[in-house]
Amino acid sequence: METWHVIDSGPCAADFNMALDEALLEMAPALGAAALRFYGWTERAASFGYSQHYADVVRLTALRPLVRRPTGGGVVPHDADWTYSIAFPAGSAWHQLKAIESYERVHAWIRDAFAGMGVETTLAPERRKDVPGQCFVGAEKHDVLWHGRKIAGAAQRRTKAGLLIQGSVQPPPLHLKRADWQAAMLTMPFRILRVEGALAELAERLRLEKYSRREFNEKR
């Protein structure tokens, strides 16, 4: 079984969160293996899909700051969620999957992690009517459901460098511990990856040049 890189960033600023995820995607070929990152937010915020119109997002959520993601999808609230990302290098088995296949696979993994914690969840069998632009209203096919309520969704981006999945888990009200969920997710051999050197430099450059800039977040 392949050994993955794992990062637990803890709470970070919104612009840095998006910058580091994109940096992991760009550096995926050099890293040579999947990089799984767990992280939080230093303040209540919302992220939104790369192609969404900023004016629409402003009307959909009162959370601030707002930050544009490098992936697609809709508005995701980050006030009590468990956020993660995974970057896979080009040529990996995950990178070669169709989008619907990688979407199902990552959510089956999350479902199984909850099962290991004694929490039964299911994958949505089909798309459920939702409010356009809102990620956690309704459900997409293969989203994770708990008693019919969506608790996990994700967005993806494929490039020549690899595949980036950004996901959010809105945990059910069962007094679950995030640390236990993260441990349940670590079903593969892994090594700790530190955010330093070229990775840290690239993340900081992307933060300064893109995700901290009003021109980027409000460009559509």
Q: With the C-alpha atoms ordered 179, 180, 185, 188, is the resulting torsion angle positive or negative?
A: positive
- Give 22-91 as a DSSP string: HHHHHTHHHH-S-EEEEEEESS-EEEE-TTS-HHHHHHH---SSEEE-SS-S-BEEESS-EEEEEEEETT
Residue 12 appears among annotated catalytic residues = no
How many Å apart are CA 145 and CA 111, to the nearest integer? 9
State the distance between the two ends of the chain, measured CA to CA, in whole angstroms: 42
- From the candidates 6, 113, 135, 145, which is the catalytic residue? 135
Which class for 190: exposed (0-12), middle (13-18), buried (19 or more C-beta within 10 A)? middle
**C-alpha 142, offset from chain centre:** 15
Strands 45-48 and 66-68: parallel
> Which tokens hold the place of 157?
């981006």
How many Å apart are CA 145 and CA 143, to the nearest integer? 6
Active site residues: 135
